[in-house]
Amino acid sequence: MSLAVVNARAALGLDAPPVVVEVHITGGLPRLSIVGLPEAAVKESKDRVRSALMNAHFKYPKRRITVNLAPADLPKDGGRFDLSIAVGILAASKQVPLDSLGCHEFIGELALTGALRPVGGTLTAALHARRVNRSLILPGSDAAEAALVRDASVLPAHSLTEVCAHLRGETTLAPLPAPTLEPRAAATGDLADVAGQYRAKRALEIAAAGGHNLLLIGPPGTGKTMLATRLPGILPPMEEDEALETAAVRSVSSLAFTAELWGQRPFRTPHHTASAVALVGGGNRARPGEASLAHNGVLFLDELPEFDRRVLEALREPLESGQITISRAARQAEYPARFQLVAAMNPCPCGHLGDAARACRCTSEQVQRYRARISGPLLDRIDLHVEVPRPKPDTENTRAPRGETSAAVASRVRAARRRQLDRAGSVNAWLSPGMAEVYCKTGKQERRLLDAATRRFGLSQRARHRVLRVARTIADLAGDEALTSAHLTEAVGFRVLDRNYGG
Please report the DSSP string for 419-457 in residue order.
HHHHHHSS-GGG--HHHHHHHS---HHHHHHHHHHHHHH
| Summary mean pLDDT of the chain | 90
265: exposed, middle or buried (C-beta count within 10 Å: 0-12, 13-18, 19+)? buried
pLDDT at 501 exceeding the cut of 50:
no
pLDDT at residue 502 is higher than 50: no
Beta strands 323-327 and 332-336: pairing type?
antiparallel
What's the pLDDT score for residue 395?
52
Q: What is the pLDDT of residues 260-271, one digit of tens each?
A: 788 889 999 999
Task: Give residue 298's pLDDT.
Answer: 97
Residues of the chain with pLDDT > 70: what percent?
95
CA 213 to chain CA centroid, Å, is 16
pLDDT at 64 over 50: yes
Top-confidence residue, 257 or 185: 257
Say what the pLDDT of residue 398 is.
52
Q: pLDDT (tens digit, 9 = 90+) per residue, 192-232?
A: 888 889 999 999 999 999 999 999 999 998 999 999 999 99
**Residue 328 CA from chain centroid, whole number:** 20
Amino acid at 243: A
* pLDDT on residue 459: 86
CB-CB contact of 199 with 386 (8 Å): yes
- Cα–Cα distances in angstroms (integers) from residue 344 to residues 154, 277, 302, 495, in the given order: 44, 21, 5, 15
Cα 176 to Cα 83, 163, 179, distances in angstroms: 19, 15, 9
Residue-wise pLDDT for 155-178, tens only, equals 999 999 999 999 999 999 999 988
Let me know the angle formed at the C-alpha of 313 by 307 and 317, rounded to the nearest 5 degrees: 135
The answer to whether the beta carbons of residues 134 and 153 sit under 8 Å apart is: yes
Q: What is the mean pLDDT of residues 243-248?
A: 91
In which band, very low, low, confident or very high, does the pLDDT at 150 lie, cut at 50, 70 and 90? confident
Mean pLDDT for 186-191 is 76
CB 472 within 8 A of CB 483: yes
User: Could you give the CA distance from residue 263 to residue 39 in angstroms, rounded to a whole number?
Assistant: 35
- Residue 494 main-chain phi, psi, to 5 deg: -90, 10
Confidence label for 503 from pLDDT (cuts 50, 70 and 90): very low
* Gap between the Cα atoms of 375 and 305, Å rounded: 10
| Calpha distance 291→312 (Å, rounded) | 11
What are the structural domains, with CATH classification, of the chain?
A: 2-168 (3.30.230.10), 191-430 (3.40.50.300)
Note the Cα 364 to chain centre separation in Å: 39
Beta bridge partners of 2: 25
- SS3 category, 211: coil
Lowest model confidence (mean pLDDT) among 146-155, 320-329, 367-376, 493-502: 493-502
437 pLDDT above the threshold of 80: yes
What are the Cα distances from residue 200, in Å, to 147, 207, 208? 41, 10, 12
The pLDDT of residue 137 is above 80: yes
Question: CA–CA separation, 20 vs 13, rounded Å?
Answer: 19
- Express each pLDDT in 443-485 by its tens digit: 899 999 999 998 988 888 888 899 999 999 999 999 999 999 9
pLDDT digits (tens, 9 = 90+) for 384-400: 999 999 887 655 555 55
Closest to 71 (Cα-Cα) out of 115, 111, 36, 99: 36
The reported pLDDT for the residue numbered 393 is 67
Q: What is the mean pLDDT of residues 72-84?
A: 92
**Pick from 75, 67, 69: nearest CA to 33:** 67
Contact between 484 and 477 (Cβ < 8 Å) = no
Read off the pLDDT of each residue in 100-119 and give the average, rounded to a whole number.
96
pLDDT in tens, 302-311: 999 999 999 9
Cα–Cα distance, 422 to 437 (Å, whole number): 17
